[in-house]
Amino acid sequence: MSGTPLYLAGEFPGNVSRILELESENQTFLDLAEAYDTLSAELQDLETGIDRFSGAYFAQLQRQRHEIRDILCAMLGAD
């Protein structure tokens, strides 16, 4: 991972306007986007050694972020 957290707009740079639209219109999308950003920031802290962690905990966070990313990706593609 790079030196900065992988926030949603960075993950989908071609969909920034759609992300902003969905965040303002769809509470579920907003909640998931916030959860994604929170998980990304926590994973970044773990990777940079700010926090101590177990491999299992790190893998669990990665799975959660991946699941949320898949849902958000589907929502971005849906009109």
Place of tokens 């959860």: 35
Residues 79 and 74: their CA atoms lie apart, in Å, by 10
Cβ neighbours of residue 60 closer than 8 Å, sequence gap 6 or more: none
Q: What is the pLDDT of residues 43-72, one digit of tens each?
A: 888 888 876 778 898 999 999 999 999 999
Question: How does the average pLDDT of the chain come out, rounded?
Answer: 87
pLDDT band at 5 (very low <50, low <70, confident <90, very high): very low
Q: How high is the pLDDT of residue 51?
A: 67
Q: How high is the pLDDT of residue 2?
A: 45
pLDDT band at 78 (very low <50, low <70, confident <90, very high): low
For the chain, give every domain's residue range: 23-77
Distance between alpha carbon 9 and the CA centroid of its chain, in Å? 9
